[in-house]
Amino acid sequence: MAKYMALIFGPESVWQDSDEETLQAMYAEYTRFGEEYGQYLRGSAELKPNATAKLIKKTGDDAYAVTDGAFGETKEALGGYYVIEADDEVTAIEIAKHVPAIGGFIELRPIADE
């Protein structure tokens, strides 16, 4: 079995501008996905907004620059992920098609063998 990372991208405004009822309905979609495909899932998490991100860049032998925020040019932010374990890529794609990507998209990548 191989593992795949399903990265969930979407506009942060969908989550920031929604009322409580809409938010609960969106979270319910993720709950339903987890219930239906839980046998394939090996981990998942929601990420905090881009504004909480830190960029860490090596600037010398022992020097690093740490700056606030993720890249501002992107319209879709990385909002969360699932780790999917499946027999093959075709199966992983079929599962990833059902990940709720509200207003956005899923990027699916195989995880390198350990």
Query: Do 104 and 10 form a contact (C-beta atoms < 8 A)?
Result: yes
- Per-residue model confidence (pLDDT) at position 72: 60
pTM above 0.75, yes or no: yes
Which residues, including other chains, have CB under 8 Å from residue 17's CB and lie 6 or more apart?
none
Domain ranges of the chain: 2-110
Fold of 2-110: Alpha-Beta Plaits (3.30.70)
Burial state string for 59-79 with b = 16 or more CB within 10 A and e = fewer than 16 = eeeeeeeeeeebeeeeeebbb
Instruction: Give the span between the Cα atoms of 100 and 114, in whole angstroms.
Output: 28
- Per-residue model confidence (pLDDT) at position 43: 97
Query: Do 100 and 29 form a contact (C-beta atoms < 8 A)?
Result: yes
Q: Residues in the chain with pLDDT < 50?
A: none
- Per-residue model confidence (pLDDT) at position 10: 93
